[in-house]
Amino acid sequence: MKDTIKTKHEQKLNSLGVIKNTEAYVDKSRWVINLSVYTRQLNTQETQILENGLNYAITPKRIPVPKIIASIESCIYHLSEESKATIRASVVNTLKNTKALSTTNMSKQQSHALRNLKKDKDITILFQLTKGERLLTCNEY
């Protein structure tokens, strides 16, 4: 009796300690619908770029310091001069201590494919279908 209870407790503890992979495999091959098949076939790099979705953020090459300063100045205009000076000093300190962005979240082939998609005036990326992650591409008439 004690052995069965002990083994059950050990099984419960072991099952609690196991880290389960919560990320399920997602098949993105159906996320891009290409209606311009007859005039232009998308290559694999272009398809991968489009599979990332419209909300995919590309890492910038440089930190946009002027934009950061302008947005902070527009937010602190109503504060006292002491508060403004403190906030400005902390922002300057933070910007000086930031490292240059050396890594990118796209390969060279993907960035080349993105440039090709932007240049191509015959193809149009219309919209995101329904609430899912599907993109529709078609010819421009």
pLDDT tens digits for range 65-85: 899 999 999 999 899 999 999
**33 neighbors 129 (Cβ within 8 angstroms):** yes
pLDDT at 37 over 70: no
What is the predicted pLDDT for the residue at 52?
79
pLDDT at 18 over 60: no
For the chain, the helix, strand and coil percentages under 3-state DSSP, each to the nearest 5: 50, 10, 40
Burial degree of 113 (CB within 10 A; 0-12, 13-18, 19+): buried
Place of tokens 């300690």: 17
Report pTM: 0.53
Between 10 and 32, the more confident residue is 10
**52 neighbors 134 (Cβ within 8 angstroms):** no
Q: Report, as an integer, the average pLDDT of 86-102.
A: 87
What is the predicted pLDDT for the residue at 10?
83
